[in-house]
Every structure is written in structure tokens, then in C-alpha cells.
Structure 1
Amino acid sequence: MTKSAVEDLVCVGTVAGAFGVRGEVRLKSYCANPEDIELYSPLLTEDGSQSFPVVLTRSIKNGFAARLGGVETKDDADTLRGVSLFAPRDRLPALPEDEFYYSDLIGLEVLDTGGTSLGRVKDVQNHGAGDLLELQVPGQSATVLMPFTRAVVPTVDLEAGRLIADPPEGLF
């Protein structure tokens, strides 16, 4: 798979391990509608080297039991534990103007309202109370978590590769 094709992949779930002894996997979905993960099948590994048709078999705690094409035994399923699964962006629905895929935000430069660089987005996290941008600040090994709200990040310019932020007092 070419570099640009890999860049056009969006993480939609992760294999959490085996489910039972007949090759089913525990599948965590990162989709807004969790069961939609099946609609984006076949799913790919991050490097695009493996492809898995996906069939959800039932809901379970924290996800789904699922069958992945080519996974026939518990051992096969166990080897996939922790593997992230990706869908090509063109299979995913278009987003409204003020919504973004996390993968689009990672790597963007973050500037304050005066144009000073605050760092780059290292990751996007959500622990239940809203999205947080994890920023890698220049010259620091520790990262900073900044709320990803319209009040704190009024401008997202994907074409220019940057976010404009008005961080809360004392964050930096």
C-alpha cells in the first residue's frame, strides 16, 4: 500500500482479544454508532498488509463479538490482540462542518491567538467528559492536555495544518 493510501485510513476499532474458542474476537468500536464498524468491512491493519471481512455476531460488554475473515481458532484470535483496525476514508460518512476525525487532528500545529506556537497535537483522548488534545510542547518531554471545545479551539484549519487556540489561563 502506498504512503498516501495508508494516510487515508481511519482507525475504527481494535481487537481486544479472543472471544470463546472458535475464532471469534472481542472487537472495540470507535465509531459514533458502534455497530457501524461492520459497514466499513473489510477492515485493514495500520500498514494495510492484512484485510479482514468483519461480521458482528453479538453485543458483549465493552464491544462486540465478531468474526474476522481468516481467523479460525482461538490462537488466531489471540495473535490479533491489540491490533487496530482501519477503514479507508472514502468508506466513511462525510462529517458536518464542525466535526473531525481524530486522525485528521494528529500532527497539526497549535497556535495561540497571537500566532505563537503552543506545540503539535500528539493524540486526541476522550475519557467521558469531552475531547482532549494531547499537545507535545516544544522543548518539553511532558505533554499538555487541552480541552477540544469551540471556546478553547475556535479555529480548525485542516488545509493549513493548524489549530488556533485560546487556552485556559495557567494551562501553559
Structure 2
Amino acid sequence: MSERLVLLGYVAGAHGVRGALRVKLHNATSSTLEPGVALHLRTRGAGAKEGAGDGDAGEIKILSRFAPKPGSDMVRMWLEGVDSREGADALRGREVFVPRAALPEPEDDEYYLDDLVGLPVVREREGGEPESLGTITGLSSNGLQDLLVIRLRGAEWLLPALPVFIVAIEAQRVVVDVHDDMLPESR
């Protein structure tokens, strides 16, 4: 069984003529993508499925990396086996994944959004049982913020992954505080 992979960003394009890549990261301050780390490049939309699929370039080691400029989410890096602009251009649009084990463990009051996938979502009700609002089935983004994709009885709804909505993560469930108008009508 392959280990779980976590999405960190995507290849935005080539930089220069010697095979450097421009990689847009979801967290540009992350120290995860350092020289020697093995990453996976997958065709956009292939996801973090186990094993190498048709869209997986396999495991590739980072040779070197330049930190992003202040205020930028773009890094430049060189990968093993990519030594020309054409080789780098061929990887444009690929999503960049690393094994979950390569990430540092979060602090007690922190979590990785990827770790929430598969957890049930509930809303506390005064004096009663928590209301089930579905299960987190994936992650998305609207360009401004990360979104939790939640499936409830055949309908999907999106919840911004913000502290104002995520009250707690406890007992393998996500407790949220949301208004009824944010929920799917079919609930």
C-alpha cells in the first residue's frame, strides 16, 4: 500500500533554459520542499490517489530550491532528471504532492486540512444531540480561501476553512458553527 500524499501546490511553468520550475505553493513559507525531498507530480485533477497512475510522473527528488520573494507564493526549484526548458515546460500544470510523513506534525491546536478529509461534520444544538451536516470528502479553493467539500445525503456544500466556522476538531469529528442558509436545501 502506498503512503498518503498531500497536495502542496502546482507547477506554474519553466524558469530559464536549464530546467528550473516555477512552483506555486499553497504555503510558501513551508520548509517541506527542501533539497533531497521526494515529491510526486501528477496531472491536475488526478488527486492524491494511492499508487502511480497514468497522470503520475512518479517520485522525483528536489535538487535545489530558491525561497520565494517576500509576498510571493512562487518558488523556483530544480528536480532530478529535469535539465532543459522543454522538460520543465512538459511539467506545467502538474500538481505537487509529498508523502504525509514528510510534513512536520502539527501542534496540539493546529491541523492540516488534508487530515480532515473523511471526518464527519456536526453542529452543536443547545440542549440536544449534535446535528450531522455530512462528511468532508475533499478540499477546494475559491482563490481567496481554502474550502472544505462536504457531502450530505447526496448533496455537496462548501464551507470556508476559517476559524469563525470551525469551532473544534474533537473525537474524530469537526464541530462547526454555520447558519442554515449555508447548508444545502436538501438536508
**TM-score category (smaller protein):** 0.7 to 0.9
TM-score normalised over the length of structure 2: 0.70
CA–CA separation in structure 1 for the residues paired with 2:140 and 2:119: 11
Quote how far apart the aligned CAs of 1:106 are.
2.0
Q: 1:153 aligns with which of 147, 156, 166?
A: 166
1:56-82 Cα offsets, whole Å, 9 max, x none, are 146466402211111012221122122
Q: What is the number of equivalent residue pairs in this alignment?
A: 163
Q: Is the 8 A contact 1:40 1:92 kept in 2?
A: no
> Unpaired segments of 5 or more residues in structure 2?
42-47, 53-57
TM-score normalised over the length of structure 1: 0.75
In structure 2, do the counterparts of structure 1 residues 62 and 30 end up closer, same or farther at CA, with 3 Å as the change threshold? closer
Partner of 1:55: 64
CA–CA separation in structure 2 for the residues paired with 1:53 and 1:144: 37
> Unpaired segments of 5 or more residues in structure 1?
none
Paired amino acid for 2:114:
S
1:125 equivalenced with 2:179 (yes/no): no
CA–CA separation in structure 1 for the residues paired with 2:36 and 2:118: 25
Partner of 1:93: 104
Quote how far apart the aligned CAs of 1:95 are.
1.0
Q: 2:6 aligns with which of 4, 7, 10?
A: 10
> How many percent identity over aligned positions?
30
In the TM superposition, 1:100-139 aligns within 5 A as 100-113=111-124, 114-121=129-136, 122-125=138-141, 127-128=143-144, 131-139=146-154
Runs of 4+ in 1 over 6 A off after TM superposition: none
Of Structure 1 and Structure 2, the greater helix share is in 1
In structure 2, do the counterparts of structure 1 residues 57 and 89 end up closer, same or farther at CA, with 3 Å as the change threshold? same
